[in-house]
Chain A
Amino acid sequence: MIFTFVFRTSRKLLELHERKKHIRNLHFKFYPNTSSLVSERKTEKLNMYQAINQALDITLKKDTSAVIFGEDVAFGGVFRCTVGLQKRYGSDRVFNTPLSEQGIAGFGIGLANCGTTAIAEIQFADYIFPAFDQLVNEAAKCRYRSGGMFDCGKLTIRTPCGAVGHGGHYHSQSPEAYFAHTPGLKIVIPRGPVQAKGLLLSSIEEPDPCIIFEPKILYRTAVDEVPVGHYKIEIGKGEIVKEGKDVTLIGWGTQVHVLLETADIVEEKLGASCEVIDLLSIIPWDAELVCKSVRKTGRVIVAHEAPKTNGFGAEIAARIQEECFLNLEAPIMRITGWDTPFPYIYEDLYLPDKWRCFAAVKKSLDY
């Protein structure tokens, strides 16, 4: 009797768990911050959208020219990143625009041309492509083509990116490589609340147009101790998140957590140690840090959610090959999304998850 009850209940719980798993499958475990790039000081517990909200709040308070605009930012944004800001700073500083990405980007460039701090939101990175022309042909080239007379350095584009469990084609993309091919733009991707706040404040204050891709799956799931007040993480600097000596694992955004877990599994199952690098900045990227690590380990795996062909991993691999040719003990491996559109029901099989990364490390060590 009791046995049947326990059996039924546990089966129900298991079913519920399975169903829940179907709604949102977290393919990673969040590793809290251990950053050496942010000096220790007073912290508070925040998730990533709250940390972003705080960075925006600090900016609006400090810089009276700063404005925030985009689709649905006035009521707080579809991911709550701008919540409360319009109430605090007024509708001329935090406002909705018509639904047009090319308009948002162009409008932001114009504001920045006049010295206004322009923080634009593109609702999903998947919808940044209508603004591609404005960003690639205009924002990126503004300073260069005018001989330095004009610029739009005060422009920052914030946009949610990456896999979210069920985003399908147009709520999952990681388009950083498209923009990395464009001289004049700076691109950053945080791996959690601490990095999001520091990189966002840097992007806003950088005298060049910046795009910050925010992995949307981290908005609520990533909770960490975030330094109170204003601080910055330098653009162009990567970070060694975990030290190791046998293989270098390179990633950014959510993938860093996948790689950290991979490193733990490798240590447990193979007894080897992995060095995990968070690139943080895609352009300009910290080749020096990466190459130094590869010279030490001789083996390297680059992993990203975006498709393989022409993904930013290709650039990293080529550069490592140029600079560390004599140190390499195994071919550079790229574990990435497949060269297909981002699929809906196949997401678990599409992502460069810890088992695909683990397999690559094993292969590299056995080479």
Chain B
Amino acid sequence: MVIYNLFKSISRLSSVRWQISIRHYCYATNVTEPQYIGIKNIFTNHLKFINAENYESIPIYRILDPAGQTHFLEENKLKLDDKTKIKIYRDMMTLNMMDKILYESQRQGRISFYMTNIGEEAVQIGSASALMLEDTIYAQYREAGVLLWRGFHISKFMNQCYGNIEDEGKGRQMPCHYGSKDLNFITISSPLTTQLPQAVGAAYAYKREKRQACVMCYFGEGAASEGDAHAAFNFAATLSCPIIFLCRNNGYAISTPAHEQFKGDGIAAKGPSYGINTIRVDGNDVLAVHYATKAARQFCISEGKPVLIEAMTYRTGPHSTSDDGTLYRTSKEIALWNDVAPIRRFKQYIQSLGIWSKEQEDNLKIIIKKEILDAFIEAEKKPKPHWKEMFTDTYFKMPDHIRDQMYSMEEHLATYYEHYPLKTFQS
């Protein structure tokens, strides 16, 4: 044993010596190999600043051109079946029509707030269609299409927007803050970007559990300016988490155009700097988004590492019902994007394949419209949850001090009930 150890240490020593001599031989000049921790690099004698101009901008992956033609043979190679293509189209249309109806209903004062998805249908449906139900979704708020694809019934959107008794969120959050346990879609919250590091944590849990699934995390290009985005990208890379970051770069954060949001090559260029595999796609091309997401998912799960997708698109609608988009952009600009709208582009494509006709289109519109309006009227009629739900779920078990406050409200209502809209709540 002693002799063996002695032999081992001698051989180790000689190998170290050998390495030193090799190094000495290779770098005989005064420029030696850098030994900084965490950086693999070479020295240079050339004084030069590095900037975006030194790089080529990351190109935009596209399959369908604006005329609905497939530019590449790739679509044939990857083979999405006709049934799926029609579901993609149907869901994009449903999302678009639901938006128009709910937007109008807010204008009429029937719901308090709404955010449309118009112009971004392809980003949502294209990516959702490439995921599996066991993949968890963390979203920002403009991703209703992802829920729709997963089977969230139209009535559930309406129930949430009305905060009625059927809303699983118990009417506590503003409209459009959807969530679904069954559909693995974490409930949305208003603070921007907070969901990013959370999604990374969830992805870490998945990896430890060796689940064959990933986490999908959506956010806008404005949200990417928050500190949480930096934290999330960095954590995902250093802790090797199977997560897809999907940035909807739609050109605006409310009124702030993207060129006031960043000066580099968009969000995509940040990916490689964190050591994240990155791609930029045409967000108005549902096929490009679908295939990019599909490849990202495969990579995430097999490698246990993150991917960043920047989907280039345009927010055709206003930011929300509290916003007038024409105050800070021209109608000419909006019209330009209507010409390359994702729904129109995909319709031309499926028509060219001979799997979609004008007749089917007319039928679909009638059916969806009826479905939406029926659900809308139903949701409007339903009462709100019992007022005591205001106090539950703050904690797992209601602590005494909250129980006391609930009783004190009950006592108050016993006398002053007529001053409150108690009739609208379930009794």
Q: Which residues of A contact B (CB under 8 A)?
A: 65, 67, 92, 95, 97-98, 100, 102-103, 105-116, 118, 130, 133-134, 137-138, 141-151, 153, 183-184, 186, 206-208, 236, 284, 287-288
Residue of A nearest to B180 (CB): A149
Cross-chain contact of B199 among A65, A67, A110 (Cβ < 8 A): A110
Q: Which residues of B contact A (CB under 8 A)?
A: 136, 138, 167-170, 172-173, 177, 179-181, 186-187, 189, 191, 194, 196-206, 208-209, 227-228, 230-232, 234-235, 238-239, 392-397, 399-402
Most buried by B among A110, A183, A284: A110
The reply to whether A133 and B194 contact each other, CB–CB distance below 8 Å, is: yes
If A100-B235, A150-B179 touch, whether A141 touches B189 (CB-CB below 8 Å) is yes
The reply to whether B204 and A110 contact each other, CB–CB distance below 8 Å, is: yes
Cross-chain contact of B228 among A95, A102, A111, A207 (Cβ < 8 A): A102
Residues of B within 8 A of A98 (CB): 231, 234-235, 238
Distance (Å) between the CB of A109 and the closest chain B CB? 5
Residues of B within 8 A of A133 (CB): 191, 194, 228
Residues of B within 8 A of A65 (CB): 205, 208
If A67-B208, A102-B197, A134-B197 touch, whether A145 touches B395 (CB-CB below 8 Å) is no
CA distance A37 to B400 in the complex (A): 20
The reply to whether B394 and A143 contact each other, CB–CB distance below 8 Å, is: yes
Q: List 20 A-B contacts (CB under 8 A).
A: A97-B235, A97-B238, A100-B230, A103-B197, A109-B197, A110-B138, A113-B198, A113-B201, A114-B136, A115-B205, A138-B189, A138-B198, A145-B169, A149-B169, A149-B179, A149-B180, A149-B187, A151-B396, A236-B400, A284-B399
The reply to whether A143 and B198 contact each other, CB–CB distance below 8 Å, is: no
Distance (Å) between the CB of A180 and the closest chain B CB? 11
Most buried by B among A95, A105, A206: A105
The reply to whether A147 and B186 contact each other, CB–CB distance below 8 Å, is: no
The reply to whether B173 and A145 contact each other, CB–CB distance below 8 Å, is: yes
If A137-B191, A144-B394 touch, whether A113 touches B170 (CB-CB below 8 Å) is no
Distance (Å) between the CB of A131 and the closest chain B CB? 10
Distance (Å) between the CB of B393 and the closest chain A CB? 5
Residues of A within 8 A of B180 (CB): 149
The reply to whether B227 and A102 contact each other, CB–CB distance below 8 Å, is: yes
The reply to whether B235 and A103 contact each other, CB–CB distance below 8 Å, is: yes
Residues of B within 8 A of A284 (CB): 399-401
The reply to whether B234 and A147 contact each other, CB–CB distance below 8 Å, is: no
If A100-B235, A133-B191, A146-B187 touch, whether A287 touches B401 (CB-CB below 8 Å) is yes
Residue of A nearest to B230 (CB): A100
Given contacts A98-B235, A113-B201, A116-B201, 19 further A-B contacts (CB under 8 A): A65-B208, A98-B234, A100-B230, A103-B232, A107-B235, A108-B201, A110-B204, A112-B201, A138-B198, A142-B187, A144-B172, A146-B169, A146-B187, A149-B187, A150-B187, A151-B396, A206-B396, A208-B396, A287-B401
The reply to whether B208 and A116 contact each other, CB–CB distance below 8 Å, is: yes
